Each structure stands twice: as structure tokens, then as C-alpha cells.
Amino acid sequence: MRFGRAAAPKGTEPVRRNSLRGWRTRVLALGAAAFALPIAATAAYPAVTLAAPIHGPVLRAPAGGYEELMVPSAMGPVKVQVQWAKNGGTSAIYLLDGLRARDDRNAWSFETNAMQMFADDDVTLVMPVGGQSSWYADWVRASNTNGQKYTYKWETFLTSELPSFLEGYGVSRTNNAAVGLSMSAPAALRLAALHRDQFKHASAFSGPLNWGAPGMREAIRVMMMDAGRFNVDAMAAPWSSEWLRMDPYVFAPELRGVPLYISAASGLPGEYDNPNSAVGVFNTANAMGIEAISLVTTRSFQARLKKLGIPAVYDFPARGTHSWKYWEEQLGKARPHILSALHG
């Protein structure tokens, strides 16, 4: 199955094979660059109320309060931003970051209104910090193209070390949701598929959900080199069991019974795209290209789930690019489905 055809509506296939190949090459190149570009502007950052020591839990901030934790891991201490459940509820939503995840704060905390959105829902927001180009996976070795000093072990952190730490604060190990966008969309689905005892819902926004599509590994390689000079081969060897384990199209059968919310927009500029400079126009064009790729792979993944008889809630807006305000909007749409899965 050719990349670009799996989700294309009938009657839209180009006539000439060479034209298709040229189009696909251009879009993949554009999309790869866009995955690695920050799009949205920075908003105000909430004040820290209390910092926990890395050796273990202490009395947490008041219910509904904000806190930063330093959580021990095989990768070293990992910063985690937390907004505690308003009334002491035990469920949690893990909000995973994008390809250019920063080392100081998770973009959900300042690019979106996620914290305000769930402030009254008696659910803890868990926002891990860091993991640039990691795909939130357990890598086979440290990257040799940027002098990385340790091997990424993000899946182990999210499914073992972090929940064990949060359990000391009263957060459930078994009643959580995973939300991801772009790079972290496949990770959110993987966590729910392969760690059913921990995650009861997964939301995936604008993600590459079919890694076996022609050109995808090469596109991912370009993205990761651009975002931190990380080597994709250090994450997993081509088409190895580790690589296939990360491909949503492959692990799709394991999602049976998991409540899912999946979205991707058309790539056409919408209400949040108002470039007023050359840089803005360039970023918007990149965001258009990568969202178009996300839509193609998401439609392909939708067809895969349909064939397997696995239901999901889908949203495919007619307009929207690969940028944070659209993901904020999608989080709002996913919110009732997330809360139903956690509190139902």
C-alpha cells in the first residue's frame, strides 16, 4: 500500500505515477521539517507552589494546586509538572509533549489552557518535562550523533517509575488516560494498548499513525536530526521488533476495548493561522504540510481499526494546521470522553 493512498478519497488519485512520486517526496520533506518546528507563541507560566525532593513523596500542594516534582529514573531525575485533582481524586491524565519537548516545562502547560480546562474535574494532570525526539520510547542505546550521555527509557519511566512515585501522593496506578499530539500521539496509543492495567483511555491528535507507510522512517530520521540531532537507529533498528512495537498500525489489535479519541485536520489554514511575517508564512506552510501527512496516516489507521472492528471517536476538521491552538481545541473536544473513561 502506497503512502498517500490509504486514506485518500476515491477519485483523487493522480493519473501519472511519476507525479505521485514527486508530490509525495515534496510533502514528506515539508512535513519532516514542520514536525521539528515550534509553531505557537508562549503564554504565561503558572507559579510553582512547592517542589518535592527527588528522594520521595512529601505532603503535596493543596488539592487543585500546582506543583513541580523531580522524579528519580534510570535517565536521572525527571521534572514533572502536576496539577492535583481539585477534590483529591485519584485518577490522572498524562499529557505528553511534542518532538521539540523542552527541558524546562511541558508545552501543554503554557501553549494551551489545559490546566484551566480540567481545573474543576477532580483529575490530576501529569505533564512530564523533556524527551526531545524520544517518541516516549525505550531506546536500544544512546544516540551517537549528538553525544547523548544516557539511553532514553521513557516508556519505563511513564509506566513504572513515575506511577510508583505518584502512588505515594495518592494517584492511582490503574485509572489514567494518555493524551499525545504529533510525536506523542503514537506513544499515547502505545501506552494504552500495551499497558492496559494503567491506562483506560488514549487521545491522539495529528500523529503519524502508520510507520510502515513508504518514506515514513526516512521522514522520522530527518525530523529527529533536526530536533536535537538524534539518531533514529539508536531508538530502534529498521523494522526490528522494537520498531514494530512502536508502530500504531502494528499494535492496533491491542487497542480493542480501549476508549479512543483520534483526530487530524486537513492542513488547510484555519482561524488560528494568521501569519504576518515571512517567518510566519514559512511556519504556516510547514504546519500545513505535516498536518496533511498526519491526516493521511490517521485515515489509514482509521481504516485499520475499522477492519479490526475496533471503535473510536474521530474528528477530522475541514481546516486546521499542525499547531498548538488546534490541539488545545481537540483536547476540549476529547475532554468528555476522557472523563467518562476515568469516572464512568
Which has the higher per-residue pLDDT, 217 or 38? Answer: 217
Judge contact between 114 and 140, C-beta under 8 A.
no
291 belongs to the catalytic site: yes
Assess if residue 281 is contained within a domain: yes
Tens digits of residue pLDDT in 216-255: 999 999 999 999 999 999 999 999 999 999 999 999 999 9
C-beta atoms surrounding 237 within 10 Å:
12
Assess if residue 6 is contained within a domain: no
Long-range contacts of 150-153 (CB under 8 A, 24+ apart): 150/74, 150/75, 150/76, 151/75, 151/234, 152/75, 152/235, 153/73, 153/74, 153/75
In the set 67, 68, 111, 291, the catalytic residue is 291
184 belongs to the catalytic site: no
In the set 111, 195, 203, 322, the catalytic residue is 322
Assess if residue 60 is contained within a domain: yes
Tens digits of residue pLDDT in 81-134: 999 999 989 999 999 999 999 999 999 999 999 999 999 999 999 999 999 999
Structural domain including 66 reads 17-343
Assess if residue 202 is contained within a domain: yes
Residue 57 CA to its chain's centroid (Å): 27
C-beta atoms surrounding 175 within 10 Å:
18
**Taking the model in full, what pTM does it have?**
0.84
Assess if residue 4 is contained within a domain: no
CA distance 103 to 81: 12
Assess if residue 222 is contained within a domain: yes
The pLDDT assigned to 58 comes to 56
Calculated CA dihedral for residues 95, 247, 30, 330, nearest 10 degrees: -30
CA distance 186 to 35: 14
172 belongs to the catalytic site: no
The dihedral of CA 7, 210, 198, 93: what is its sign?
negative
Q: Coil, strand, or helix at residue 244?
A: helix
What is the domain-level CATH number for residue 43? Answer: 3.40.50.1820
- Distance in angstroms between the alpha carbons of the first and the last residue of the chain: 39
- Structural domain count, the chain: 1
Mean pLDDT in residue range 23-30: 43
Element spanning 67, H or E: strand 66-71
Assess if residue 24 is contained within a domain: yes
Q: Coil, strand, or helix at residue 247?
A: coil
Assess if residue 298 is contained within a domain: yes
In the set 91, 143, 182, 323, the catalytic residue is 182
